[in-house]
Structure 1
Amino acid sequence: MTQPRDPDAAGRRRALAAMLFLIVLVVGGVWLANTLRREAAREDCLASGRRDCAVIRPEP
């Protein structure tokens, strides 16, 4: 015998998929905003005529 399908299960799956999609969208938006902010700061530095605009990270 087959068990009857739970109609709420499909709704929960759709809600979970929507939440995961929104989380990915928000994380991607934050990453994009940070990247654009960093590039804008670098362009401002270069536009002011400076040559030492690259971030130098110290080696461990």
Structure 2
Amino acid sequence: MKSQRPVPEDDDEHRVLKFRPRTMSRPPGQADSSRAVPPIDLGRQPNDLARYQRSRDEPDDFRHRMLANLAAFAFTVALTAIGIWLAMSIADLRKTQDCVLMGRRDCARISVPPS
């Protein structure tokens, strides 16, 4: 067994380093000409949705939007059905495994064809 030795109280090992912020390549007031980003208007309310509105001149593609909603709904229903099927099959396998582990012999389900 290894013996525990005390940790030396060195001031060099435990010291606080001063944080120095990164320096910028340009002053904050200068804009980068390669990126055309509009300046942020600080006078605007934070929940102003005007930048997401479309003009009335653009046609609303109702058919495309409804097809996308229908596809999303069908995907959600299929995913839910697969999840329910998977949960039921896992429960059935667990029940069969518990039966076998108890030592019973009549655990297998026998399907009888309709006459």
Question: Segments of 4+ in structure 1 off by > 4 A?
Answer: none
Deviation, structure 1 residue 6? 4.9
Give the CA deviation at 1:58.
Answer: 3.5
What percentage of residue pairs aligned between the two structures are identical? 34
Q: Does 1:10 align with 2:73?
A: no
Which residue does the alignment assign to 1:37? 91
Instruction: Tell me how far apart the structure 1 counterparts of residues 111 and 63 of structure 2 sit (CA, whole Å).
Output: 50
Q: Distance in 1 between matches of 2:75 and 2:111?
A: 34
Distance in 2 separating the partners of 1:15 and 1:25: 15
Aligned CA RMSD, in angstroms, stands at 1.5
Unpaired segments of 5 or more residues in structure 1?
none
- Count how many residue pairs are aligned between Structure 1 and Structure 2: 56
Note the C-alpha offset of 1:9: 1.3
Greater Rg by CA = 2
C-alpha displacement of 1:57: 3.0
| Cα distance in structure 2, aligned partners of 1:23 and 1:56 | 31
TM-score, with length taken from structure 2: 0.45
| Partner Cα separation in structure 2 for residue 23 and residue 50 of structure 1 | 39
Unmatched segments (≥5 aa) in structure 2: 1-58
Query: Partners of 1:50 and 1:17 in 2: how far apart?
Result: 47
Bigger helix fraction: 1
